[in-house]
Structure 1
Amino acid sequence: MNTTAAPSGDAASGAAEPAFWYGIPHGYAKLDLDPPRERIEQLVRVLNTLPAEQRAQASQVLQFYAGMVTTLNAQNVHMCAVGYHPDDDGTIVTSTLTISTVPTSGHNAKLVIASLAGTAADDPDTGMRPLELPCGLGYLAEEKKRTVAPGRDPESLEGPLRGDVWQGTVAVTGSGTPDIIVLQLVTPALHLADVYRDILLGVARTLTFTDPTKPVPTPDKPPAGSAEAVMRNDFG
C-alpha cells in the first residue's frame, strides 16, 4: 500500500497539517479533488479542438468529473480512488474507495462510535458489526443496494441507468481529530463482495493518527523538542 495523509480541518482552507494517515491499495488511482484552474482551462482548450461528435462526448465526461468533484468536496471527502482489477473471467472489475470526515456537531466522536459499535454488537441483524482496529474502536456496515449509475442523462426519456452495488463502510475516530472518519468502498461486482470487504478492512487497519514518517521515540532517544531532549542537548 502507498501511505498518504489527510489534511486537518476543511480541505478548502489550505490546512497543511495532516490529521490522519492511511494506505491506498495497489490497483487504485486517486482522483484529483482540487485540480488547478490552469489544468481545467487546458482541458477545455483541448476539448474545443476535437471534432464535433468527440467534443460532445468529452464535454459530458468533463462535466461529470466537475460535478463529481464538487459533490465530493461538499461532503468532506479527502480522498477518492478508482480501482481496476482483473476478474477470473478476464474482464475488468471496478470499485470506488473514498475517505471522508463527518462532524459530530458538538458530540463526543468516541462516544458516538462506541454507541454505534455497541448497537452493532447487540443487534447483528442491522448489518453492522463492531471492529477493533489498531487506531481504535470502529464498526463495519455493509449492504447491497440498487443505485443510479453514470452514463445517461437522468432527464432523458429512457431515464437514468440503474445497477446493483455492494457498499461497505467503516467508521472510526481517534485522538487526532474530533470528527468521525468514514472509509467507504463501492463496487458493482457483487460476486466479489468478500474480496472487497477484505480490501476495505485492510485500508482501515492502516489508518493511524501518528505520522508514520517520524521515527518512533525510544528511551535512549526521546522525541525532538521534548523537555528530556532539550536537557540532554544542554547537559550532554
Structure 2
Amino acid sequence: MNDRFDVAVAEPRPLFWYGLPHGYQQLDLDPSPEGLDEVAQRIRELPEEFRDRADQVFRLYAVVLTKLRKHEVLGCALGVHPDDGGAAAMSVITVSSLPMPGVNPKVVLTKMLADSTGTGPDEGIRPVELPIGTGFLVQSERTTVAPGLPPEGQEEPLEGTIWQGLVAVPDIASSSVITVQLVTGSVALADDYREVLLGTARTLSLTDPAAADEEPGPGAASGRTETVRSVFG
C-alpha cells in the first residue's frame, strides 16, 4: 500500500491468523471503489435476461458487507460441499474479535460456562482445548427467515431451520475474545459441520505463519497455521 507521496505504508498487523477448510472461499470485506465500479459496469453490459438477477445479487452483497462491518467481522468465507444426496450443502464461516477493555475475557467466558443451564451434550457452553488455548463451544438450532420469495398468496416470508456453532477464545494479551462461527441450513449435517468449525478453530494462532521459524513471543502459539481439510473432502 502506498500513500499519495509514493512512500510505502505498512499494512496493519493482524490480531491473529487462521486457516480455512477445503471448499471455502474468502469474501473480500474491503473492496476498492474501483473494483465495485468495475463489477457494476460488467453488470450493465450483461444481456437483459441476466442483468436484473445479477444486480440483485450485487445489491445483496453490498447489504451483507455493511452488516458484517457493523458487527466487526474480520473474515467471512462461503462453503459449498456435496451432501449425502448429491445436492449442494452451503455454509458460512465468520471470524471476529470482540474487544473487552478493562476486563479479563477468560473470566467473563468462564462465568458464562458456570451460569450455563444446558444439560445435554449439545446444549449450553462447553470448553474445548485448542493449540491457542482453551476455547468455549456454543451450538444451537433456530428458525429464521429463509432466502427467496414466499409462495403466491402468502404474505409471510419463508422460514427455515439453521444450525449455528460458535467457538469463543479469550485473548488475554489484547483483552478481547476471538470468535469463529459457522452457520448452515443443512441441519442434518450438524455433526460434520461441528467438526469443520472445531477444525477451523484449531488453526487459530497469535503467531504470524510467515515468521514460523522465529522465536515465538510469550503466550504465542508456536508452529505454522495450517489449512484444515473438511470432512466433506
Shorter-chain TM-score range: 0.7 to 0.9
TM-score by length of 1: 0.78
Q: For the Cα contact (< 8 Å) 1:116–1:139, is it kept in 2?
A: no
Matched, 1:128 2:142: no
Matched, 1:143 2:140: yes
C-alpha displacement at 1:49, in angstroms? Answer: 2.1
State the identity as a percent. Answer: 43
Task: Determine helix, strand or coil for the equivalent of 2:85.
Answer: coil
Task: Determine helix, strand or coil for the equivalent of 1:206.
Answer: coil
Task: Determine helix, strand or coil for the equivalent of 1:44.
Answer: helix
C-alpha displacement at 1:124, in angstroms? Answer: 3.5
Q: Which amino acid aligns with 1:182?
A: T
Which residues of 2 match residues 21-170 of structure 1 at below 5 A? 21-120=17-116, 123-124=118-119, 126-152=123-149, 158-170=155-167
TM-score by length of 2: 0.79
Aligned length: 204
Task: Determine helix, strand or coil for the equivalent of 2:200.
Answer: helix
Instruction: Give structure 1 stretches of 5+ with no counterpart.
Output: 1-13, 224-236
Computing the radius of gyration from Cα coordinates, the structure with the larger value is 1
Q: For the Cα contact (< 8 Å) 1:85–1:92, is it kept in 2?
A: yes
C-alpha displacement at 1:113, in angstroms? Answer: 1.9
Q: For the Cα contact (< 8 Å) 1:19–1:176, is it kept in 2?
A: no
Select the structure with the greater relative contact order (CA < 8 A; seq sep ≥ 6): 2
Give the distance between the partners of 1:166 and 1:137, measured in 2 at CA: 23
Task: Determine helix, strand or coil for the equivalent of 1:22.
Answer: coil
| Greater helix fraction, Structure 1 or Structure 2 | 1
Report the counterpart of residue 202 of structure 1 in structure 2: 199
Mean CA deviation greater in 188-197 or 104-113: 104-113
C-alpha displacement at 1:35, in angstroms? Answer: 0.9
| Greater strand fraction, Structure 1 or Structure 2 | 1
Task: Determine helix, strand or coil for the equivalent of 2:209.
Answer: coil
C-alpha displacement at 1:176, in angstroms? Answer: 4.5
C-alpha displacement at 1:197, in angstroms? Answer: 0.2
